[in-house]
């Protein structure tokens, strides 16, 4: 009998039962269904049964550190001796020594975490070749749509490393982001024979409808439709487990998770400067009021979102990864999405990014500048128009009274400090008329005030009562680090 560290839900047990000894398997589990735990349980079983000595997990930048900080400590049994290594392209001297030791150390389970973007460089390939030498390893790709482009350099590199793996796994909540053609390279990573095609072009010829199109003096083949999809689905069922939040009957009605956002070097520099100033202010000895402290926290929060507001009211943009983290999160979601941000500056940026990625007809906005007529239209479109997938709003403006039950996913791009606003905004889609479970995702920068704010709000504690004196100083002690 397998000794779980954390109790699995029924669908997680089913996923592990189907996959535990398989050479190649896909966890197509919707975000919030706990696919990370299933992979960790699978790694544990394989290691304890001496099938592997090493596990390598590839994930996007905004995700791979979450495996080290949260998923592995939470789900990997304490009795399993392990060493966890984190790849960093710009590792410092100490980090380089640890990575070099990882190549030599073989007396414990080795877990290596690598951001998938690094596979565009030769540096990580050289390290991986040394790390996997004479080892039995499992290679997993989290959010496997990151290798959906068969022509991409990183996809080719991941597939090459995968040829040496004893076991392979892919994980994603939504394996098809644009078309069924997205499946080929993800499945080819596991094994080309699983789908029965030696090349992408033969796969495309079977499942896509192609039309020769002319544009000026040039002609090219264009995909205009799809066919034989029932056959493709049957093939997937042989090596993949698919479950949605709605199908996972034992999940709670509300599911909470976080998505990490890495800071740029400019953000770190400004954050540390503003943090030091805030600490000096708190320790100044004068009477400190809650509004004064909250104003300083708000400025830090704006910086984490990617901009500074100067004393004369000018907004200065700072390079950041928050929009990218939001888009990567959405790729893992099925269905409609509400995105809450407390700053109108961000609402405009979010709409622009979604317009570009999904089309202008997919997005509606609702905030202070929105007229009453446009507010009514936004609600109607989001609730009733299948093409309108995203509702982007300010929770203080739109977080009360509205019915947005068309959504089963909510992203908090940035949080309001008001507990009542958080509770009310959560309930816009979680109310009478909602027939599905709802996933709530908070975008947070690790080791920053983002983390503390989310913890307080999710614990349903009034934030104002925790922002004075020692508590606020505690929040500001740790500085965020850049993860390449």
CB atoms within 10 A of CB 351: 17
Handedness of CA 442, 446, 449, 454 (dihedral sign): positive
**Over the chain (484 residues), what is each successive 10-residue block's mean pLDDT?**
89 96 96 94 97 96 84 94 92 92 92 93 93 96 93 95 97 86 95 93 92 78 88 93 87 88 91 87 70 82 90 87 94 93 93 95 93 93 96 88 90 88 87 83 90 80 56 68 60
414/416 Cα distance (integer angstroms) = 7
Class of domain 10-243: alpha beta
Write down the pLDDT at residue 483: 58
Half-sphere exposure of 429 (CA within 13 A, CB side): 28
For 253-291, write each residue's pLDDT tens digit.
Answer: 889 999 989 899 999 999 999 888 888 877 775 666 777
| 223-228, long-range: CB < 8 A, 24+ apart | 223/179, 223/181, 226/179, 226/180
What percent of the chain is modeled with pLDDT above 90? 61
Write down the pLDDT at residue 459: 76
For 165-183, write each residue's pLDDT tens digit.
Answer: 999 999 998 888 778 999 9
Separation of first and last alpha carbons in the chain: 40
405/337 Cα distance (integer angstroms) = 10
Q: Helices 290-305 & 449-458, crossing angle to 10 degrees?
A: 120
393/299 Cα distance (integer angstroms) = 20
- 298 and 104 Cβ atoms separated by less than 8 Å: no
Token pair listed for 229: 């999809």
Widest Cα–Cα separation across the chain: 76
Write down the pLDDT at residue 462: 61
For the chain, the structural domain boundaries read: 10-243, 254-262+317-475
Place of tokens 């269904």: 33
- 362 and 388 Cβ atoms separated by less than 8 Å: yes
**Coil, strand, or helix at residue 305?**
helix
- Concatenating the DSSP letter of every residue in 181-210 gives GGHHHHHHHH-GGGTT-SSHHHHHHHHEEE
Write down the pLDDT at residue 472: 64
**Same fold across 10-243 and 254-262+317-475:** yes
For 114-156, write each residue's pLDDT tens digit.
Answer: 999 999 889 999 999 999 999 999 999 999 999 999 999 999 9
Cβ-proximal residues to 242 (8 Å cutoff; 6+ apart), any chain: 28, 29, 236
Cβ-proximal residues to 216 (8 Å cutoff; 6+ apart), any chain: none
- 141 and 189 Cβ atoms separated by less than 8 Å: yes
Q: Which CATH number fits the domain 254-262+317-475, given the four candidates 1.20.1560.10, 2.40.50.840, 3.40.50.300, 3.30.360.10?
A: 3.40.50.300
For 194-208, write each residue's pLDDT tens digit.
Answer: 999 989 999 999 999
Partners of 223 in the β-ladder: 210
Cβ-proximal residues to 424 (8 Å cutoff; 6+ apart), any chain: 395, 399, 400
Write down the pLDDT at residue 469: 52
| Burial class of residue 14 (count of CB atoms within 10 Å of its CB; 0-12, 13-18, 19+) | middle
Q: Which of 384, 318, 327, 376 is nearest to 350 (CA)?
A: 327
203/209 Cα distance (integer angstroms) = 11
- Concatenating the DSSP letter of every residue in 229-293 gives HHHHHHHHHTTEEEE-TTT-TTS-SEEEEEEE-PPPHHHHHHHHHHHHHHHHHHTS-S---HHHH
Write down the pLDDT at residue 133: 93
């Amino acid at each position: 009998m397998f000794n779980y560290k954390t109790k699995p839900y029924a669908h997680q047990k089913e996923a592990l039962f189907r996959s535990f000894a398989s050479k190649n398997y896909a966890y197509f589990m919707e975000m919030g269904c706990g696919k990370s735990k299933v992979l960790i349980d699978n790694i544990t079983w394989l290691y304890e049964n001496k099938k592997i000595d090493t596990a390598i997990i590839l994930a996007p930048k905004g995700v791979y550190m979450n495996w080290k900080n949260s998923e592995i400590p939470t789900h990997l049994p304490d009795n399993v001796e392990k060493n966890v290594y984190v790849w960093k392209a710009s590792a410092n001297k100490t980090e380089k020594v640890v990575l070099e030791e990882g190549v030599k150390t073989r007396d414990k389970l080795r877990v290596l975490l690598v951001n998938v973007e690094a596979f565009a460089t030769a540096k990580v390939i050289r390290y991986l070749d040394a790390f996997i030498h004479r080892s039995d390893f499992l290679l997993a790709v989290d959010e496997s749509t990151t290798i959906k482009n068969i022509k991409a350099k990183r996809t080719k590199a991941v597939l090459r490393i995968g040829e040496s793996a004893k076991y392979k796994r892919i994980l994603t909540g939504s394996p098809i982001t644009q078309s069924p053609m997205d499946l080929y390279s993800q499945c080819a990573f596991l094994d080309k024979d699983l789908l029965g095609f030696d090349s992408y072009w033969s796969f495309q010829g079977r499942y896509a409808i192609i039309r020769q199109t002319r544009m000026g003096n040039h002609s090219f083949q264009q995909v205009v439709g799809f066919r034989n999809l029932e056959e493709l689905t049957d093939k997937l069922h042989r090596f993949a487990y698919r479950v949605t939040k709605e199908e996972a009957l034992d999940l709670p009605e509300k599911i909470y998770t976080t998505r990490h956002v890495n800071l740029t070097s400019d953000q770190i520099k400004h954050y540390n400067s503003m943090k030091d100033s805030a600490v000096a202010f708190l320790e100044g000895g004068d009477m400190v009021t809650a509004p004064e402290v909250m104003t300083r926290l708000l400025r830090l929060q704006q910086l984490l979102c990617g901009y500074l507001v100067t004393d004369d009211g000018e907004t200065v943009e700072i390079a950041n990864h928050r929009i990218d983290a939001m888009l990567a999160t959405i790729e893992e979601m099925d269905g409609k999405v509400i995105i809450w941000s407390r700053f109108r500056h961000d609402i405009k940026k979010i709409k622009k990014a979604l317009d570009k990625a999904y089309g202008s007809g997919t997005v509606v906005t609702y905030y202070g500048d929105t007229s009453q007529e446009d507010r009514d239209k936004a609600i109607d479109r989001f609730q009733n128009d299948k093409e309108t997938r995203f509702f982007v709003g300010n929770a203080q403006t739109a977080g009360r009274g509205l019915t947005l039950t068309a959504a089963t996913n909510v992203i908090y791009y940035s949080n309001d400090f008001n507990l009542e606003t958080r509770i009310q905004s959560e309930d816009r889609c979680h109310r009478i008329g909602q027939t599905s479970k709802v996933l709530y995702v908070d975008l947070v920068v690790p080791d920053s005030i983002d983390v503390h704010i989310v913890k307080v709000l999710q614990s349903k504690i009034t934030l104002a009562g925790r922002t004075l004196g020692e508590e606020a100083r505690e929040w500001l002690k740790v500085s965020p680090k850049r993860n390449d």
